[in-house]
Amino acid sequence: MKIDVVQDAKDHTYTLTVKLDQFKNLREYETIHNLINAISLDFDLDPEITIEDLKNIVAEAKKEEAEEVTCEIGPEGIDIEF
């Protein structure tokens, strides 16, 4: 699975970007879920996102004909968009 991770040292945020075609099976969802959880710990955040939530987000993104899902994690919280 290819995940682009960008850290903005100035704002102290992380941006994860994953192309929708990377989500092929449960292992990919688990991988991104674990990465979100790990980075969230850096900010003492409880991501409160489940693998089922990720599946729903990806399904919605595919319906909207998006190409990727972006997750921004920082001091203000977690924001997932497509």
Average pLDDT of the chain to the nearest whole number: 94
* pLDDT of the residue at 7: 95
Residue 47 pLDDT exceeds 90:
no
Q: How many domains does the chain have?
A: 1
Question: Domain residues for 70?
Answer: 4-81
Average of per-residue pLDDT across 16-44? 95
Q: What are the beta bridge partners of residue 14?
A: 7, 73
In the predicted structure, residue 62 carries a pLDDT above the cut 90: yes
Identify the pLDDT of residue 37: 94
pTM: 0.87
Beta bridge partners of 4: 17
* pLDDT score of 27: 96
3-state percent helix, strand, coil for the chain, nearest multiple of 5: 40, 30, 30
